[in-house]
A and B are shown apart, each in its own frame.
Chain A
Amino acid sequence: MTFAMVVNVSQIAQPFVDENFGWILNVVFYLFFIIFIFYGQRIQMYVMLKEVEGSLLRLKYIKEEGRKIAIETIKEIGKPSHDPSERVDRFLEYFALPPESMDPAGVVWKLEHILDVRDIRFKDEVKLMAPSASETQINNLENTLEAALALNYIYKVVRHFYILGKKTLSLYIIMQLQMILPLVMREAEAYASALKAFAYGQPIGDGVGALVAAKLMHGHEKRKIAKDCVVATVPLEGRTAYVIKAEGPGGNVGKPGEAMKTIIEENDGKISTIIIIDAALKLEGEKPGEVAEGIGVAIGGPGVEKFKVEESLLKHRIPINAVIIKEDVGDAVSPMRKEIFEAADEAIKRIKRVILEKTKEGDSLIIAGIGNTIGIGQ
Chain B
Amino acid sequence: MELDNRKGERLAEKKSETAGTTETTARRISSFVIVVIFVTLALSLVALYFAVDIYQRNEVAAGYFFLIGFVGLALSSYMLLQMRKRVLKWRIKLPPIITIIECQKCGFKNIREFKRGDYVFKEMDACEKCNEPMMITGIYREIKEPKKKEEKF
Contact = CB atoms under 8 A, between A and B. Distances in A.
B12 to A, nearest CB: 4
Contacts of A193: 92
B23 interface: yes
Interface in A1-51: 6-7, 9-10, 13-14, 17-18, 21-22, 25
Given A341-B140, A376-B119, 20 more contacts: A14-B57, A17-B54, A17-B58, A17-B61, A25-B64, A54-B86, A64-B22, A89-B16, A89-B19, A93-B8, A95-B8, A200-B97, A203-B139, A214-B121, A285-B153, A335-B139, A336-B140, A337-B140, A337-B142, A376-B121
A192 B61 contact: no
B119 A377 contact: yes
Given A61-B22, A336-B140, A338-B140, A7 B121 contact: no
A58 interface: yes
A338 B143 contact: yes
A64 B118 CA distance: 27
Contacts of B16: 85-86, 89
Contacts of B22: 60-61, 64
A124 to B, nearest CB: 15
A335 B50 contact: no
Interface in A49-105: 54, 57-58, 60-62, 64-65, 67, 85-86, 89-90, 92-95
B92 A62 contact: yes
A338 B141 CA distance: 6
Contact of B120 (A13, A22, A376): A376
B60 interface: yes
Interface residues of A, number: 53
8 contacts: A21-B64, A61-B22, A85-B16, A90-B12, A192-B92, A335-B141, A377-B119, A377-B122
B92 A196 contact: yes
A218 interface: yes
A377 B139 contact: no
A249 B122 contact: yes
A334 B60 CA distance: 59
A7 B139 CA distance: 67
Given A10-B53, A89-B12, A285-B153, A335 B95 contact: yes
Given A6-B49, A192-B92, A335-B141, A201 B54 contact: no
Contacts of B11: 93
Interface in B9-52: 9, 11-13, 15-16, 19, 22-23, 26, 29, 46, 49-50
Interface residues of B, number: 45
Contact of A377 (B12, B54, B121): B121
Contacts of B49: 6
Interface in A232-256: 248-249
A21 B94 CA distance: 56
Majority secondary structure of chain A interface residues (helix, strand, loop or mixed)? helix
Contacts of A6: 46, 49-50, 53
B94 A375 contact: no
A202 interface: yes
B61 A18 contact: yes
Given A57-B26, A61-B26, A335-B141, A21 B60 contact: yes
Contacts of B138: 341
A364 interface: no
B114 interface: yes
B92 A202 contact: no
Interface string B76-96: 000000000010011010110
B61 to A, nearest CB: 4
Given A17-B58, A61-B90, A202 B114 contact: yes
A162 B117 CA distance: 41
A144 interface: no
Nearest to A66: B92
B129 interface: no
Nearest to A92: B12
B139 to A, nearest CB: 5
Residue of A57, A60, A211 contacting most chain B CB atoms (<10 Å) = A57
Given A6-B49, A6-B50, A375-B139, A18 B8 contact: no
Contacts of B148: none
Contact of A18 (B19, B58, B141, B142): B58
B116 interface: yes
B120 A57 contact: no
